[in-house]
């Protein structure tokens, strides 16, 4: 191994702490480790920017350093003593002195080679936090390097890079410095544009970030508000906006069957609905209708808080597809939810002579075969089901519209698989190039900036109004040891004719344990409330069993429904107006919001009791407080984003998130808007700039966006 690696083993504090692991590491090729960090070429390396910096540009005397309080300093001296001590524990004690004083370095873990390297008389440059300890002025695990007398100090700050396992800073620094010396530095943006946008040119910005001069505003560097950072973030966001718009253009170049007709089915469906659409429902429906009339595929996300009435909008979109002579499909993530959609929609549609088919994984073979035949022949105009719909055996006659409920529950691949089923390959007349329109629904509201930057090419419609006559839900946070009072309250509510959900704790580490808890809770409540009928529903029950229980609850025959999180999504029983959630501290915010949304659907005032087991951690406290303070799904999503950050908020499955390394959507919203406007202008007037910019910033990564 060449020199850099050796120097690093000695230089890096962490290396000194974990000698065993380092020592044992197989000598994997450093180039492979670079590739693991996504660093394949010079530009990748140039855009691998430091996390922070170390100031090695100045030296202090040991005497001076000892006078300062606790802070990181760099000193230089000669080793006067180097010993292994065994009390109070085994450690390497090295004394270094200069004309002004002495300093003790302590290493609790060390290599034998280190002891040899630090022999008496060796000159060292030592950097670390100086404290006054048992040995006088001391540094524990400082960084150090062996130097010759009069060795020059660096004149720029030393970058510290994000590094992978076993990849040393020294190796990275060298690789990056080499890359910078070879780089094609052309600016992708013309000077006039930089001037208008008040942006730094590319080369000086990148160079400054790697090797900032000592007088740089270090705070601005760390906060990433320095103009050099702004240029990086802008370029990154611009690349993202450009590729989003390109994806959009590519979608528009595809063909779909236009679904222009709103005829008999639509009109009659509106007539049989037991309510009038809200203004918000009318508005989003108009947006969807306009998309469906086009002969390129719709890709629209319908967002609406829990209970805002997305199902009926979906049904009306399906009606338009059917009126236009195509089939529509609705896929939901759980059996309970899909089944409920099926019942509701079949009850609306079947009297209008529309064939509705049901498809699920647990279906009996005969029923399934029959459903598949109807789907293929086109007798079924609307198909509702779970992800069983994605299977190869499912063949549509002419699918025009795909609707995915609770879309965030599905992976990108699953959604694509359903979309690819638009036609029957056995039919020579079929238009193999046609892609069905796609409507996705979600109750997890995604703040606008996130939607704009994280989702691939997606139009968004928002239902921002609840149906009339809903009364607000009051939420209380209650200590678990007051469970008896809560049971009393459940009893009183049931006697008033209300129905109750009792949600069992989430036990992520063990499904078996979770089932056990649900069964135990059911037994305990049945014993405590002998005059009430208590039902139990959990994920491991057979679908028919689940269905019997859910139906009993819908009819009002069951007073209290003990449930695991299977009821989280979509279940709709308007007479349920009390919800108890046990161990609420274990749930995430959006999950709590979804659960709570099961009540407050009728006109009765609803209550949600969040039982918790103290003591609560910081984020759990924040989550429960948020639930108590607001029922507004958008506000909850916003706070969730604050608590968790965008990556986690959207989950690893979502596209696009791998794209943003530098920009932070919480602070850089203004830049997102700038980038969007610039992207628009460039696409119109300067396609060559677009190509260059995308090549630099995305390389081969554009696929993240093609969803």
d(CA 333, CA 436): 20
By Cβ distance, which residue is nearest to Mg ion? Answer: 570
Q: What is the rounded distance in angstroms from the CA atom of residue 525 to the CA atom of residue 487? A: 8
Shortest separation between residue 572's beta carbon and ligand ADP, angstroms: 5
Q: What are phi and psi of 209, to 5 degrees?
A: -70, -30
What kind and span of H or E run contains 580? Answer: strand 576-581
Q: How is residue 276 annotated by DSSP?
A: P
Minimum distance of ligand ADP from residue 340's CB (angstroms): 8
Instruction: Output 570 or 646, the one with its CB closest to Mg ion.
Output: 570
Cα separation, 297 vs 437, in Å, equals 5
Stretch that binds Mg ion, among 515-523, 564-572, 587-595, 660-668 (CB under 5 A): 564-572
> How far is C-alpha 84 from the chain's CA centre?
49
Q: Which of 308, 327, 422, 444 binds ligand ADP (CB under 6 A)?
A: 308
Concatenated DSSP letters for 124-166? EEEEEE-EEETTEEEEES-EEEE--TTPPPPSSPEEE----TT
- Tell me the C-alpha distance between 129 and 103, whole Å: 12
Among 311, 360, 407, 444, binds ligand ADP (CB under 6 A): 311
- From start to end of 512-575, where are the E strands? 534-537, 560-563
Burial level of 146, CB count in 10 A (0-12/13-18/19+)?
Answer: middle
Q: Count of residues binding ligand ADP (CB under 6 A)?
A: 19
> How many helices and strands, by DSSP H and E, does the chain display?
28, 22
Q: Is 304 a binder of Mg ion (CB under 5 A)?
A: no
Work out which of 309, 355, 385, 436 binds ligand ADP, going by CB under 6 A.
309
Nearer to ligand ADP (CB atom), residue 125 or residue 593: 593
Q: How far is the CB of 601 from ligand ADP (least distance, A)?
A: 5
Coil vs helix vs strand at 538:
coil
Q: Can residue 570 be called a binding residue for Mg ion (CB under 5 A)?
A: yes
Q: Do residues 350 and 392 lie in contact, with contact meaning Cβ atoms separated by under 8 Å?
A: no
Q: What DSSP state is assigned to residue 582?
A: T
Q: Which of 467, 539, 552, 588 binds ligand ADP (CB under 6 A)?
A: 467
Stretch that binds ligand ADP, among 72-80, 202-210, 211-219, 309-317 (CB under 6 A): 309-317
- Which of Mg ion, ligand ADP, none interacts with 400 (beta carbon under 5 to 8 A by kind)? none
Q: Does 278 bind ligand ADP (CB under 6 A)?
A: yes
Can you say how many angstroms the Cα of residue 637 is from the centroid of all Cα atoms in its chain? 12
379 binds, among Mg ion, ligand ADP, none (CB under 5 to 8 A by kind): none
We find the least distance from the C-beta atom of residue 311 to ligand ADP, in angstroms, to be 3
* Least distance (Å) between residue 538 CB and ligand ADP: 22
**Residue of 77, 304, 400, 535 that binds ligand ADP (CB under 6 A):** 304
Q: Which is nearer to ligand ADP, 114 or 278 (CB)?
A: 278
Are 448 and 412 spatial neighbours (Cβ–Cβ below 8 Å)? no
705/707 Cα distance (integer angstroms): 6
**Residues within window 437-456 making contact with ligand ADP, judged by CB under 6 A:** 443
Distance CA 644, CA 636 (A): 12
Q: Please report whether residue 590 would count as binding ligand ADP according to CB under 6 A.
A: no
Residue 277 contact partner, candidates Mg ion, ligand ADP, none, CB within 5 to 8 A by sort of partner? ligand ADP
Q: Which of 226, 601, 623, 693 binds ligand ADP (CB under 6 A)?
A: 601
Question: Counting contacts by CB under 6 A, is residue 341 touching ligand ADP?
Answer: no
- Among the residue ranges 197-205, 301-309, 479-487, 690-698, the one whose residues contact ligand ADP (CB under 6 A): 301-309
Min dist CB 562 to ligand ADP, Å, is 22
The three-state secondary structure class of 57 is coil
Nearer to Mg ion, 400 or 570 (CB): 570
- The interface partner of residue 97, options being Mg ion, ligand ADP, none and the CB cut-off 5 to 8 Å by kind, is none
3-state secondary structure of 91: strand
For ligand ADP, the closer CB: 170 or 443: 443
Q: How would you class 124 by CB atoms within 10 Å of its CB: exposed for 0-12, middle for 13-18, buried for 19 or more?
A: buried
In whole angstroms, give the CA distance from residue 353 to residue 179. 69
Residues forming contacts to ligand ADP in the complex (CB under 6 A) are 275-278, 281, 304, 306-312, 443, 467, 570, 572, 574, 601
């Amino acid at each position: 191994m060449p020199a850099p690696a050796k120097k690093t083993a000695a230089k890096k504090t962490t290396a000194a702490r974990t000698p065993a692991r380092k020592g044992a590491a197989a000598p994997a090729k450093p180039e492979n480790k670079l590739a693991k960090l996504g660093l394949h070429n010079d530009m990748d390396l140039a855009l691998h920017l430091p996390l922070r910096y170390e100031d090695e540009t100045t030296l202090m005397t040991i005497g001076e350093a000892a006078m300062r309080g606790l802070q990181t300093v760099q000193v230089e001296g000669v080793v006067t003593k180097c010993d292994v001590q065994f009390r109070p524990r085994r450690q390497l004690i090295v004394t270094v002195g200069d004309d002004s004083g002495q300093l003790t370095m302590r290493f609790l873990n060390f290599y034998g080679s280190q002891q040899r390297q630090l022999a008496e008389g060796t000159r060292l440059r030592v950097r670390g936090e100086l404290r006054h300890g048992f040995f006088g002025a001391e540094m524990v695990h400082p960084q150090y390097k062996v130097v010759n007398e009069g060795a020059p100090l660096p004149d720029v700050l030393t970058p510290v890079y994000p590094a992978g396992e076993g990849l040393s800073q020294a190796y990275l620094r060298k690789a990056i410095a080499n890359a910078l010396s070879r780089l094609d530095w052309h600016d992708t943006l013309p000077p006039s544009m930089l001037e208008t946008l008040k942006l730094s040119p590319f080369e000086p910005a990148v160079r400054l970030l790697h090797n900032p001069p000592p007088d740089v505003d270090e705070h601005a560097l760390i906060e990433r508000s320095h103009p050099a950072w702004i240029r990086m973030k802008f370029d990154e966001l611009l690349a993202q906006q450009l590729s989003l718009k390109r994806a959009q253009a590519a979608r528009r170049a595809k063909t779909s069957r236009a679904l222009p007709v709103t005829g008999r089915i639509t009109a009659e469906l509106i007539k049989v609905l037991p309510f009038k659409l809200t203004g918000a429902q009318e508005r989003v429906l108009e947006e969807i209708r306009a998309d469906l009339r086009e002969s390129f595929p719709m890709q629209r996300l319908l967002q609406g808080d829990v209970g805002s009435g997305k199902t009926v909008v979906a049904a009306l979109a399906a009606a338009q597809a059917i009126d236009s002579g195509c089939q529509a499909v609705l896929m939901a993530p759980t059996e309970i939810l899909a089944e409920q959609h099926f019942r509701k929609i079949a009850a609306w549609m079947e009297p209008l002579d529309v064939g509705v088919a049901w498809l699920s994984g647990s279906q009996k073979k005969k029923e399934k075969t029959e459903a598949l035949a109807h789907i293929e022949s086109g007798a079924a105009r609307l198909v509702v089901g779970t992800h069983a719909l994605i299977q190869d055996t499912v063949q549509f006659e002419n699918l025009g519209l795909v609707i995915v409920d609770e879309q965030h529950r599905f992976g990108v691949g699953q959604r694509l698989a359903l979309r690819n089923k638009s036609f029957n390959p056995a039919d020579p007349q079929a238009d193999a190039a046609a892609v069905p329109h796609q409507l996705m629904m979600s109750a997890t509201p995604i703040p606008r900036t996130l939607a704009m930057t994280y989702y691939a090419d997606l139009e968004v419609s928002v239902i921002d109004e609840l149906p009339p006559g809903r009364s607000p839900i009051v939420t209380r946070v209650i200590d678990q040891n007051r469970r008896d009072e809560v049971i009393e309250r459940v009893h009183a509510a049931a006697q008033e004719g209300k129905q109750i959900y009792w949600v069992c704790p989430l036990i992520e580490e063990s499904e078996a344990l979770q089932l056990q808890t649900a069964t135990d809770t059911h037994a305990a409540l049945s014993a405590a409330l002998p005059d009430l009928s208590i039902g139990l529903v959990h994920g491991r029950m057979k679908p028919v069993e689940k269905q019997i229980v859910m139906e009993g609850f819908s009819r009002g025959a069951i007073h209290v429904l003990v449930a695991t999180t299977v009821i989280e999504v979509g279940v709709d029983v308007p007479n349920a107006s009390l919800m108890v959630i046990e161990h609420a501290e274990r749930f995430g915010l959006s999950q709590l919001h979804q659960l709570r949304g099961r009540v407050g659907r009728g006109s009765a005032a609803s209550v949600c009791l969040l039982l918790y087991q103290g003591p609560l951690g910081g984020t759990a406290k924040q989550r429960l407080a948020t639930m108590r303070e607001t029922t507004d799904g958008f506000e909850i999503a916003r706070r969730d984003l604050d608590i968790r950050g965008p990556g986690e908020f959207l989950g690893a499955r979502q596209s696009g998130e791998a794209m943003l390394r530098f920009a932070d959507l919480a602070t850089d919203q203004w830049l997102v808007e700038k980038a969007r406007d610039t992207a628009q202008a460039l696409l119109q007037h300067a396609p060559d700039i677009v190509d260059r910019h995308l090549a630099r910033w995305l390389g081969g990564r554009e696929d993240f966006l093609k969803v």
